[in-house]
Amino acid sequence: MIQRDPSLRHTANQYLSEQKDRSFPGYFYNFLQSYMQIFSTDPAMMPDQKVARSARDMDEERICIASLRFGLSQGKRQPGLPPGDD
């Protein structure tokens, strides 16, 4: 990447492959990279809209993960969970 001679530089895909599970965790390859392309390829989306969209998506992802972790389904509390933990 920092080679002075451009012919010695690798492609972006080669660097990504070399750094898989080192610099870039596994979820980068199966989710994050394609998700982030939404923001780089939509010229109509303003910077503030991009931030709002990613924040909303992260909140939705946290809710989904929490639902799976605590066995919640469609807002119904599972037996054994104290009130307010759903």
Q: Output the CA–CA distances (angstroms, integers) from residue 65 to 7, 14, 70, 73, in the order listed.
A: 45, 32, 9, 12
Is residue 82 domain-resident? Answer: no
pTM beyond 0.85: the answer is no
Evaluate if residue 48 carries a pLDDT over 60.
Answer: yes
Token reading at 21: 């599970």
10 in a structural domain = yes
Residue 20 CA to residue 15 CA, distance in Å, equals 9
Same domain, 31 and 55: no
Of 73 and 57, which is predicted with more confidence? 57
Looking at the predicted structure, is the pLDDT value of residue 3 above 80? Answer: yes
Give the mean model confidence (pLDDT) for residues 35-41: 79
- Residue 64 belongs to domain spanning: 45-72
User: SS3 of 37, please?
Assistant: helix
Asked if residue 50 belongs to a domain, the reply is yes
What domain count does the chain have? Answer: 2
The pLDDT value given to residue 70: 62
pLDDT in tens, 67-83: 666 665 444 444 444 44
- Domain annotation covers residue 37: yes
Position 86 in a domain:
no
